[in-house]
């Protein structure tokens, strides 16, 4: 469910069926669908509260679509030729990540925001740098004002920040302690090295999955699973470093940043949104096409040189 779309977009980008224009239209479609997801989640939560006869004034809504909007970050790079549109979408994404109240999504979004603004300014020519700096400052000021407004007028948002500062991890400390204790002290040798089976964390904690990919894999697939996952991230990092095309590299950097950070306090590999996996598949397919074009050009050049020598 999570990873299969990567291959779909990789395959059809390689074949030329999916190009940048189609990805741009798809990104616009995703922006609308993400909003509909947010509204649906909000409505569903409110209806469930009403059905249980709770006071609507005491509603404390954490909308999980915060991670959905976070997954739209890589799509921003597609709109790089129009800075105003790109920064307007960035503002749109940040607003809904903040309204979602998911602390992990908010933290990662701020890291991505700072990285995005820094990289965008770094890659600009002198002619466009002033405009980019102005837009970047505008975004930072606007986000700061929104946060100040939420802290002042939204009691729940303020409580979430206060909980974070006080070390309240929404029960994750119990989940982590239970998983670590089980893995180190209660597993057999077989379970330690090969795991206890898929979703075993539900049995270990009794309430939920680990909300940490490394602990989840340690329990379910043992040391072997952790090593395979480590290898996956090393290969991903190497891919990012070796990508020559700047726009594709930028997209891959954002995807890497979002989902690597997510491994430590949420579910990453099992919860990658199609909004990001589509971009990842496109980047992989496009990188393949560009590398083959370069290889073909090199072969043509060598053939020309050989023919000249004769």
pLDDT, tens only, 160-205: 777 777 766 677 888 999 999 999 999 999 999 999 999 999 999 9
Q: For the segment 70-128, what is each residue's pLDDT rounded down to a tens digit?
A: 999 999 999 988 889 999 999 999 999 998 888 889 999 999 999 999 998 887 777 77
Confidence band, pLDDT 50/70/90 cuts, at residue 309: very low
- Supply the Cα-derived Rg of the chain in whole angstroms: 23
- The sign of the torsion formed by the CA atoms of 152, 155, 157, 162 equals positive
Res 310: pLDDT: 39
Q: What is the pTM of this model?
A: 0.89
pLDDT tens for 213-270 read 999 999 999 999 999 999 999 999 999 999 999 999 999 999 999 999 999 988 899 9
- What is the distance of C-alpha 80 from the center of its chain? 19
Looking at the chain, the whole-number percentage of residues with pLDDT higher than 90 is 61
Locate 282 and state its tokens.
């496109």
- Confidence grade of residue 308 (pLDDT, cut at 50, 70, 90): very low
Q: Is the pLDDT of residue 306 over 60?
A: no
Burial category of 220 from C-beta neighbours within 10 Å (exposed 0-12, middle 13-18, buried 19 and up): buried
Examine the pLDDT at 208 and tell me if it is beyond 80: yes
In terms of DSSP H, where are the helices of the chain?
Answer: 4-14, 20-51, 66-70, 83-100, 103-122, 126-153, 155-165, 172-181, 189-194, 200-205, 213-242, 246-262, 274-309
Stretch 39-46: mean pLDDT, rounded?
A: 84
Sequence-distant (6+) residues with CB within 8 A of 226 are 214, 217, 218
Inter-residue contact 95 to 146 (CB < 8 Å): yes
User: Rounded to an integer, what distance in angstroms lies between the CA atom of residue 3 and that of residue 20?
Assistant: 21
Mean per-residue pLDDT, 35-48: 86
């Amino acid at each position: 469910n999570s990873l299969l779309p990567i291959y779909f977009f990789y395959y059809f980008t390689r074949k030329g069926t999916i190009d940048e224009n189609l990805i741009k239209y798809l990104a616009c479609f995703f922006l609308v669908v993400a909003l509909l997801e947010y509204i649906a989640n909000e409505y569903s939560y409110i209806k469930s509260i009403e059905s249980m006869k709770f006071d609507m004034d005491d509603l404390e809504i954490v909308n999980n679509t915060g991670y959905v909007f976070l997954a739209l970050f890589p799509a921003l790079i597609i709109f790089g030729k129009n800075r105003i549109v790109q920064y307007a979408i960035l503002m749109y994404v940040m607003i809904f990540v903040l309204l979602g109240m998911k602390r992990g999504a908010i933290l990662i979004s701020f890291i991505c925001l700072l990285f995005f603004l820094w990289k965008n300014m770094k890659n600009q020519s002198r002619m466009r740098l002033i405009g980019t700096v102005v837009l970047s400052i505008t975004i930072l000021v606007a986000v700061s004002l929104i946060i100040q407004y939420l802290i002042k007028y939204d009691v729940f948002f303020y409580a979430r920040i206060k909980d974070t500062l006080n070390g309240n991890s929404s029960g994750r400390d119990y989940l982590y302690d239970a998983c670590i204790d089980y893995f180190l002290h209660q597993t057999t040798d077989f379970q330690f090295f090969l795991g206890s089976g898929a979703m075993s964390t539900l049995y270990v904690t009794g309430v939920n999955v680990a909300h940490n990919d490394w602990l989840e894999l340690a329990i379910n697939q043992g040391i072997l699973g952790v090593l395979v996952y480590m290898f996956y991230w090393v290969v991903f990092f190497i891919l990012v470093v070796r990508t020559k095309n700047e726009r594709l590299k930028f997209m891959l950097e954002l995807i890497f940043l979002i989902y690597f950070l997510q491994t430590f306090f949420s579910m990453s590999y099992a919860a990658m949104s199609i909004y990001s996996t589509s971009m990842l598949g496109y980047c992989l397919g496009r990188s393949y096409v560009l590398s083959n074009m370069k290889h073909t050009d090199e072969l043509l050049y060598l053939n020309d040189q050989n023919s000249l020598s004769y």
